[in-house]
Chains A and B, each alone.
Chain A
Amino acid sequence: MTVATSRHLTPASPEPAGVDNRLVVGGAALTWRSLPTPTLPDPVAVLAHSAVHALTAARQHAVHGTELLLSTASRVDAAMRTELLAAGFTVSVLDDDGVHPSAPARPRAAEPGRLWLLTSGSTGRPKRVGHTLDTLTTVRADQPDRTWLCPYAPGTYAWWQVVTLSLTQPGQHLVVVEPDELDDWPTVAATQGVDAASGTPTFWRRTLYRDAEALARVPLRQITLGGEPVDQAILDQLREVFPTARISWIYASSEVGASIVVHDGRAGFPVDWLDRETPGRPTLSVRDDELVVTSPYHGAGLAGPIRTGDRVQVLDGRVLITGRLDSDEINVGGSKVSAGLVRGVLTGHPAVAWARVTGRRAPVLGRMVVAEVVLAAADPSGADTGVPDEAALVRWCADRLPEHAVPRRIRVLTDIPVKETLKSDV
């Protein structure tokens, strides 16, 4: 084990502009400046033991430019660990006792300023995508002072978005919740005066489903959604609880960076944003139902138009991102169905809190649309909103969708499934 501090090192760059922003981690009030400054190997893959260790590594990178891949032990399996060691990283667990390094198979020189992200791997093995603090920093204009909730897993693209905002802009404070605090985050957030929060639609649905009243007590002025398809129902539900907050959704990924930001409270983006070229801004196009992005914020080694693998559909002048191309499209006897659009119809039912739509093997048609749903808790006012059964939900869909797109089997689950990435794999 190596424990060292960098007191004798000269910082490669001055402290970041947000160094005195407030950080609340596990109930403790800190600032970026008050975090310990361990000396890290370079290049290093840091497996942060908890949120404070992840923030420590981020601050260390901001000051020293250490080549860094940041993740957690649970997201790096044995095969990935071997891969990282082979790629020249010292894999180091960072915890309260310091740095616990494993030496790389083939040591190599570090690339100063390089940050690596592991993609979520929802479509196979996680891939390494190269960035820098600069390419990860997408909010550059001065922002009103905010206290942000950070519910994301350390080192993910979404985590870096919130972290770079707080590192680079004075007045952008962070309240970080650990995974075991996640279900109770509204209580923590209300106590800490959180007025801005970023989460996946699954994160917001779970929060509304578990305790909408506790959520309403959080003084939110900015609500951000991203990481999964954003449908109209979740935007409307949040609007009902927070009539005056700004509600934004963001399309971003490790590969193409933050490419779409929509503030008008509606799902999708205006169709006239397509193929519009503005210097310094991403250009959005559609090719064969796939979203294609050309962006100055691409990951390293990626240039020109990038096929995102996300399926889009134009409806009523809006470009809707409905899901992953390889899983969104269900072929029912030759008719194409977008799982995302069906999901949007289901979540539009007042009693449905969450839905997943998939294709299931069936005779004659090859595949058939089926769904799983979680029903919203009974109305606390005692009003009988009626708990729909399978047949009622099928009828709801039949009234709104072409016949072949109607899910014929709908299973009711008791809780919203969620992964560490706060996504549901919908």
Chain B
Amino acid sequence: MNELSRAQIRDLMAQVLKNQDKELPADDAAQLREIGFRSLDFSELALRVEDETGEELNFDAPGLRRIATVGDVLDFLVELQHQ
């Protein structure tokens, strides 16, 4: 299975923000609210991961969780690839 590493997902996340002239901080603890990464951006990132791997993510699999930091996003998408 084609799987993206945490670092590769981080690159895609930086791309999503760069297209809006925003920057992704190096710190995984950075708050999404502060860097302006919102649900539309999160959805776009998920689609980019799908397009890179050629596999559909199973969005329904994991339960609800709190996604507040850059690290939360990366963890979540790494985990989704295993579902």
Contacts and interface: CB of A to CB of B under 8 A. Distances in A.
Given A363-B57, A394-B19, A408 B44 contact: yes
A contacts with B: majority SS: mixed
Contacts of A363: 42-43, 46, 57, 59
Contact of B47 (A368, A395, A398): A368
Nearest to B76: A363
Give the residue among A333, A362, A370 with the most B Cβ atoms within 10 A: A362
A360 interface: yes
Given A391-B19, A394-B19, A365 B47 contact: no
B47 A370 contact: yes
A360 B57 CA distance: 12
Interface in A366-412: 368, 370, 391, 394-395, 398, 403-404, 408-409
A276 interface: no
Contact of A361 (B39, B40, B59): B59
A364 interface: yes
A366 B59 CA distance: 9
Interface in B33-66: 39-40, 42-44, 46-48, 51, 56-57, 59
A365 B59 contact: no
B contacts with A: majority SS: helix
Given A408-B47, A409-B44, A409-B47, A333 B59 contact: no
A379 to B, nearest CB: 26
Given A365-B39, A403-B40, A360 B47 contact: yes
A409 B48 CA distance: 8
Contacts of B48: 409
Nearest to A390: B19
Interface string A350-366: 00000000001111110
B40 to A, nearest CB: 6
Contacts of B56: 361
29 contacts: A332-B40, A360-B47, A361-B56, A361-B59, A362-B43, A362-B44, A362-B46, A362-B47, A362-B59, A363-B42, A363-B43, A363-B46, A363-B57, A363-B59, A364-B42, A365-B40, A365-B43, A368-B43, A368-B44, A368-B47, A370-B47, A394-B19, A395-B19, A404-B40, A408-B47, A409-B44, A409-B47, A409-B48, A409-B51
Interface of B: 19-20, 39-40, 42-44, 46-48, 51, 56-57, 59
Interface of A: 332-333, 360-365, 368, 370, 391, 394-395, 398, 403-404, 408-409
Given A364-B42, A365-B40, 6 more contacts: A363-B59, A368-B40, A403-B40, A408-B47, A409-B48, A409-B51
